[in-house]
Amino acid sequence: MTSGSPTLAPPPQSPRSAPPLPFLAGLATAAPAQTLDQRQMLELLGLAGDDFAEAIFARCGVTRRHLDLTPELVSQTLQARSPQTERRTQELAEQAIAQLDFDPAEIGVVVSASLCTLGTPSLAHRLVDSLGLASDVDKYHVVGVGCASAVPLLRLAAQALRERPGQRALVVAAEWMSGILTPVGADDPKVKTIGSSLFGDGAAAALLALDELPGTAGESVGAPGVGPGALPRILASAVHQLPGTLADVRSEMNALDSQVQMSKALPLYARDRLAGLIDAFLARHGLDRAAIDHWPVHPGGRGILDGIKAGVGLSDDDVAASAAVLAEHGNVGTPSAFFVLNELTQRSAQRPGEYGLMATIGPGVTVGLALLQW
């Protein structure tokens, strides 16, 4: 689908009745310096020479991944890796945050997320302490939403900010998959091989603010600019759980081992069920798919991207940012959609007034949708 002009105008709102709109005032990502290509990963996980694994690793859309994984780490149990998992998850989060420009005194909300809990205290609490934020900052940590996380996190942060006028929210999604990737044995199910072909380490941090004066681009708290790197407003968002799909994305972990299982039905859901959700969502806001200029969609794997393209009617260009993130980083789980949005905004300039649609897919099966406008 190529960019186009809106075919329907959004319904007008009275400035008095319109709530303040959230907008992204900053976005950054971080990943380990070490990269491992798919051949190296096959060898690390004991899959070299396995015909099924070789085929999956070759066609999943991943070229390399940023991972801290080493032979020594792979030989350890998950319990033995736990201290490193806690440390590296927080370090990656702080590396992303360090790239943002903000005054700690402005932060009134911290929302963090990861696939796995770090126990207590949560990542949000740890960041409040390490960043020297105010003790009364609202702190939330979301666990287990995985690749669908970006939209729920932004929704939660925006809702919390409405109770903190004039302040900003720090939204952080961090994943250290090196802490849970384990060797794949002959007795393991094939779905473990599929998950092992995809996941990488990474973190994203976003600053969220509210337009204090609706329709003014938020002069009171500093609005995003235009050109490469410009960030959008969030006009609307929604989260849907597809009935009867709880078993289609699962992660199972214990002290010794882990399995991340992704059903072969996921590409079919992307192809057959996503478009209807998108159309209904856009229609509620007076738009249709032809109005959308930019598509930061979930880079869950080549099958999911192909399903989204086929079902929603998108071109290779429409999903180029998603494909680039998948190729370079793999699926980084919780921060995935933030990686794609960051890639999209750095690739080209978005013009004022253009629309974007963020679409995320994760456990539940959960679909997150966010209507963006530059």
Whole-prediction pTM value? 0.88
Q: Which domain holds residue 338?
A: 227-373
Residue 253's pLDDT band (boundaries 50, 70, 90)? Answer: low
Q: Answer whether residue 165 is part of any domain.
A: yes
How far is the C-alpha of 297 from the C-alpha of 238, rounded, in Å?
15
φ, ψ dihedrals at 35, nearest 5°: -120, 145
Residues 202 and 239 in one domain: no
Residues 52 and 162 in one domain: yes
User: What's the pLDDT at 254?
Assistant: 63
Residues 331 and 265 in one domain: yes
CB neighbours of residue 43 within 10 Å: 13
Residue tagged 């999911």 (tokens): 304
Residues 196 and 232 in one domain: no
Residues 193 and 49 in one domain: yes
Domain harbouring 265, CATH code? 3.40.47.10
Q: Answer whether residue 8 is part of any domain.
A: no
Pick from 284, 239, 21, 234: which is nearest to 147 by CA? 239
95-105 residue pLDDT tens = 999 999 999 99
Q: Answer whether residue 270 is part of any domain.
A: yes
55-81 residue pLDDT tens = 999 999 999 999 999 999 999 999 899
Helix (H, G, I), strand (E, B) or coil at 357: strand
Q: Percentages helix, strand, coil for the chain, rounded to the nearest 5?
A: 35, 25, 40
First to last CA, the chain: 19
Residues 325 and 270 in one domain: yes
Residues 363 and 237 in one domain: yes
Last residue of a domain, one of 142, 177, 210: 210
Q: Answer whether residue 149 is part of any domain.
A: yes
Cβ-in-10-Å burial (0-12, 13-18, 19+) of 124 comes to buried
Last residue of a domain, one of 184, 210, 236: 210
| Cis peptide leading into residue 224 (ω within 30°) | no
User: What's the pLDDT at 143?
Assistant: 87
Residues 98 and 135 in one domain: yes
pLDDT cut 70: percent of the chain above it:
87
Q: Which two tokens stand for residue 91?
A: 């370090």
Residue tagged 């399995």 (tokens): 259
Last residue of a domain, one of 176, 210, 244: 210
How many domains does the structure of the chain reveal? 2
Residues 120 and 203 in one domain: yes
Q: Answer whether residue 340 is part of any domain.
A: yes
Residue tagged 């253009």 (tokens): 354
Q: Which two tokens stand for residue 41?
A: 């990963």
Residues 181 and 237 in one domain: no
Mean pLDDT lowest among 12-21, 127-136, 341-350:
12-21
Residues 176 and 35 in one domain: yes
Residues 65 and 204 in one domain: yes
Residue 225's pLDDT band (boundaries 50, 70, 90)? Answer: low
Q: Answer whether residue 303 is part of any domain.
A: yes
Residue tagged 């303040």 (tokens): 20
Residue 214's pLDDT band (boundaries 50, 70, 90)? Answer: very low
How far is the C-alpha of 336 from the C-alpha of 198, rounded, in Å?
12
Q: Answer whether residue 20 is part of any domain.
A: no
Q: Answer whether residue 268 is part of any domain.
A: yes
